Amino acid sequence: MTLLAVERMKLFTTRSPWWCAVLALAVTVGFAALMAGTASAESPITIAATQFGYGFGLMVVMVMAALAITTEYRFSTIRATFQAIPNRTAALLAKTTVVALLAAVIGEIAAFGSWGIATVIEPTADLAINTPFEWRAIAGIGAVYGFAAVIAVSVGVLVRHSAGAISVLLIWTSLLENLIMLIPRVGRDIHQWLPFNVAHQFVTGDPDPSARAIQDGPGLSDAVLSPWPALAYFAGFAVVLLVIALTVANKRDA
């Protein structure tokens, strides 16, 4: 508990998490407002459509999480940290936990904020949260942000440079996973198992909404897992990456 309190103090006494949180909320809620504002009688706003901006918020949250650790390397406060807490695994686990919790909270506020602003702009639309799919589409975003933050912290520990870690994360999520589909024959099969695509399945998948129009929500995942196993797979991927990062951090000179 002490270590969690320490990492909380460290996180909130710098400015970048605040800026990132504000930015993440602005892009997600802003997108929802845009979707609600442009909805019409023929194509009314849906719950899925209120979450159009979640992918952008996800990137901002991962930048926040990566910065939380890479700035420690940048300013060598990681050495002060390991000096105070020589058990590196404990120190880094505490940091990961605090950052992931913050990411999850940002995710929930972003998701419910997006949904909320849509209900305000379009009070007549059917935005009641009823089905498991609708709950996942909104409340599930916090879980995806949380595990994505674990991935971002792990990459940050491994790469140690802010620009490098952020480049890896952004290229991976916004380019690489889609480019892999271009590989002949096997590309699509590989893509089905790529972590962010699978995480997307948790938010957008089942009951199969493939018949819906494009404006009804974020693009769909082609992952074959059903939603809850998809989340477990994403979480498992995050944990494996974290274990690798911790092992490396313990071996390496600080």
Partner 1 sequence: MIEAVGLTKRYGKTLAVDNLSFTVPAGRVTGFLGPNGAGKSTTMRMILGLDAPTGGSALIDGKHYRDLHHPLRTVGALLDAKWVHPNRSARAHLQWMAKSNKLPAKRVDEVLEIVGLTSVAGKRAGGFSLGMSQRLGIAAALLGDPQVLLFDEPVNGLDPEGILWIRKFMHRLAEEGRTVFVSSHLLSEMALTAQELVVIGRGKLISQSSTEDFVAQATENTVRVRSPQLAALRTALGRAGVSIRDEGESLIVSGMDCAEVGELAASTGAVLHELSPQRGSLEEAFMQLTGDSVEYHTEIADGQVPATLVPAGK
| Residue numbers at the binding site for partner 1 (CB under 8 A) | 2-3, 5-6, 9-10, 13-15, 71-72, 75-77, 79-87, 251, 253-254
Please give the Cα distance from 181 to 35 (Å, whole number): 29
Residue 63 CB, shortest distance to partner 1, in Å, is: 16
CA dihedral 166, 168, 174, 176 (to 10 degrees): 180
Closest to partner 1 by CB, 83 vs 131, is: 83
Closest to partner 1 by CB, 4 vs 129, is: 4
Alpha carbon 161 to chain centroid distance?
A: 20
CB contact burial 106-126 (16+ within 10 A = b; e otherwise): bbbbbbbbbbbbbbebbeebe
Residue 251 CB, shortest distance to partner 1, in Å, is: 8
Residue 79 CB, shortest distance to partner 1, in Å, is: 6
Closest to partner 1 by CB, 14 vs 215, is: 14
Residue 152 CB, shortest distance to partner 1, in Å, is: 19
Residue 5 CB, shortest distance to partner 1, in Å, is: 6
Closest to partner 1 by CB, 75 vs 135, is: 75
Closest to partner 1 by CB, 2 vs 40, is: 2
Q: Is the peptide bond before 86 cis (omega within 30 degrees of 0)?
A: no
Please give the Cα distance from 138 to 93 (Å, whole number): 27
Nearest to 66 by CA among 143, 140, 172: 172
SS3 92: helix
Closest to partner 1 by CB, 5 vs 244, is: 5
Amino acid identity at 254? A
Please give the Cα distance from 35 to 38 (Å, whole number): 5
